[in-house]
Every structure is written in structure tokens, then in C-alpha cells.
Structure 1
């Protein structure tokens, strides 16, 4: 019964035009910035260590030692590269706020680099939105945090607040 009432209410509300409200896309940020810095420092050290291993003086270059040195340096290089790329900006999903369809979509790049929808929620199914000075927290109906998105400017915060007002409960 409640779903039918929401559908009737949605059908009575005029759809916003594209000129009035524009779609917004916000990228997720890593949860722990300190962990990102530690991974980058360790990754850089491993990549430099892989190259520096060949310039260390006093090592004999027998065939067995050179093969072992090659294996260790390749392991250091690829491990360092993995640590450098683990929280790269291109690997982070994007949150797309669509005012025409009145929905929030989370887009993740697939293997070919094209965005793919991994989550789609209508504004009616969201519990609330909490605006902070630097973050937007989207909460579910039961109050659990679905996502925390960084907001770079006051203009984006204002545009999101205007887009979500009347459709999602906005708490301060």
C-alpha cells in the first residue's frame, strides 16, 4: 500500500528540468589517508630497492646468485608497484546523483576502463543525508551509513542540498 502511495506521489510531482538541476558526480576517497601514505612510501622504497639491488658493491655475480637476485628484484618491483596502485584515484568508484531519474548510482570502472553501475538507489529508498563541512554522509532507512563522500566546494554542497531537498530527509 505504501509503495502505491509513493508511486502516486512521484507521478504527481513534476520532473525537474535539466536546466534547473544538473547531475553531480563525486569520487569516493580512501577511508584511511594515513594508510595510503604508508603504502606509497613502502611501494616507492620497494621499487627503488629493486633497482638499487643491482648497484650494491661487493656481490659476486655467479650464475646462481644472479638468478636469485633477479627473482628478488622482480618480486620487490612488482610488490612495490602493487602498493603504489592500491589506492590510485582511477580505482575509486564515483557517486552519480541524477536529478531526472531521482536516483543515486555508484559507478565503478570495469576491466576496459568503462564505468559500470554497481549500485542504484532511488532517492525515496534513502534514509537521510547529513552534510558536513567536508563530507556528505548518505544513511539508510535504519540509520546506518551507506557512504561518506568528500565535498570539495561550497557550490557542490549547495547543489546537492538543493537536489536532495524535499526527496531525502536532510539532517544537519
Structure 2
């Protein structure tokens, strides 16, 4: 009985565990294939949330102060929301840090153009008590494909040898200009 009482006293005070830098939640059914990179100041942690034009969350990530968040996101024009606060104030995804978040007024485009996956790289900096976006660049990944060939020799039980070249398509993703 005493243990239960102590547990009930501790539960409302306990905060959500601090996540590692990376994906928090993906709500979109579309495949996440387009790059997003976010850099932010080291003194606070940040929650990065992308929403669609109706305000529905698409994907979210957690950025520990001083780290770089790299996510693959679904295609579309997404609004960026950033919530920041001390690591000990993290309350989980719905409540974030308990403080107001900043919302980028214009949606960011994430799309595929032929063999190019066009994403975004963003740098956040301190502005008074809040944050501002000081740099935004396109982050592009090119999808290249090449053939990989292997010579194969097979011997049948009768002793006859078959020789042929086995070809396999080998797709690669590389950063491009």
C-alpha cells in the first residue's frame, strides 16, 4: 500500500524521457525518401515537426542541442514548426516543451524531380529569447544506377560447364549539385 502511494505521488511529476536525436513519429503513409537537415544552437533541445497544408502532422524529429538532425521525409509542401526548451522540460510529443513553438510562414517544398530528391537544409540561431532561421539551402540527393556484372561458371552433373555473365542493377544515392 505504501509503495502504491509513493508511486502515485511520483507519477504526475515525472517528465517524458529525453529522446535521442532522430525520428520521433511518422504519420504519413507516403514513403520518407527526401532529405531534411536541421542544425540548431547547443544550449537547448528542439522538436522539429512538419505538417501538411491542413495542419496534420506528417513527420517529427527530436534534435538534442548541438547535434544535427537528418531525416528522410515524405514528398509534399510541408510547414515547419520548431519547439525549443531545456532537455528537462520535454513533456512528449503532444505538449513538447510546454512553451510556444515557432512556425515558418511559408511551406518548404520536398519533391522528386526525375532522379533528384529535392529537400532542405536549415540552420536555426538564437534571436533574443527565441529562434530564427538564419540559413536555408536545398539539400539534393541524386539517384544513380549502374550495372554490376559477375561471371558465373556452373557445372552440371553430366560434367557440362555453363558460363555466363550475371548482371544486376545497382542503384546508389549520392549528394549532388
Higher strand share: 2
**TM-score interval (norm. to shorter):** under 0.3
Alignment TM-score, normalising by the size of structure 2: 0.23
Alignment TM-score, normalising by the size of structure 1: 0.23
- Higher RCO (CA 8 Å, separation ≥ 6 residues): 1
